[in-house]
């Protein structure tokens, strides 16, 4: 299953292409393209959960008070989420900060009824391993 093995990597490649665009894409286009790439990579989970994660990401970018030109490079932070939802998360390779795990716990709990039970169990185990349950 190529998509499963490559989902985060494909997402990163799409971000790389966006960053190499000359002239650079507008902020509005970057937001739209990152969202499209993220939704494609997260095709295995409920749309409402993907949307909640992306909106949370946008909010964190706004709070970071970075210039708009940094948006695409900031979007690489979404990669570990993709790995979590494809059951390929590696704490040492791409650690997710504790406050993000707290958000994830709440978002996943809200979407639990729509999720695959094995995936839900995997994610809740990761959250429990963090001592957040």
What domain range includes position 55? Answer: 2-95
pTM equals 0.88
Can you give the pLDDT at residue 4? 43
Can you give the pLDDT at residue 3? 45
Q: Tell me whether residue 127 is in a domain.
A: no
Question: What is the mean pLDDT of the segment spanning 30-37?
Answer: 96
Q: Write phi, then psi, for 17 (nearest 5 degrees).
A: -60, -40
- 99 pLDDT band (50/70/90 cuts)? very high
- 2 pLDDT band (50/70/90 cuts)? very low
Q: Tell me whether residue 114 is in a domain.
A: no
Number of domains in the chain: 1
CA distance 120 to 108: 8
Q: Kindly tell me the burial class for residue 120, based on how many C-beta atoms sit within 10 Å of its own C-beta (0-12, 13-18, 19 or more).
A: middle
pLDDT higher at 56 or 95 = 56
Q: Tell me whether residue 81 is in a domain.
A: yes
Q: Tell me whether residue 116 is in a domain.
A: no
For residue 16, pLDDT beyond 70: yes
The token pair that represents 44 in the structure block: 């295995």
Question: What is the mean pLDDT of the segment spanning 77-99?
Answer: 91
Q: Tell me whether residue 19 is in a domain.
A: yes
Q: Tell me whether residue 14 is in a domain.
A: yes
- 91 pLDDT band (50/70/90 cuts)? confident
């Amino acid at each position: 299953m190529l998509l499963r093995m490559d989902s985060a990597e494909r997402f990163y490649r799409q971000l790389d292409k966006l960053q190499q665009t000359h002239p650079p894409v507008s902020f509005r286009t970057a937001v739209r393209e990152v969202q499209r790439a993220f939704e494609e990579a997260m095709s295995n989970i409920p749309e409402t959960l993907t949307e909640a994660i992306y909106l949370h990401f946008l909010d964190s970018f706004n709070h970071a008070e970075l210039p708009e030109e940094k948006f695409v490079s900031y979007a690489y932070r979404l990669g570990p989420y993709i790995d979590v939802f494809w059951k390929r998360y590696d704490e040492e390779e791409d650690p997710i900060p504790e406050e993000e795990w707290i958000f994830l716990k709440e978002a996943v709990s809200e979407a639990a009824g729509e999720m695959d039970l094995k995936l839900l169990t995997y994610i809740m185990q990761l959250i429990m391993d963090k001592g957040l349950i």
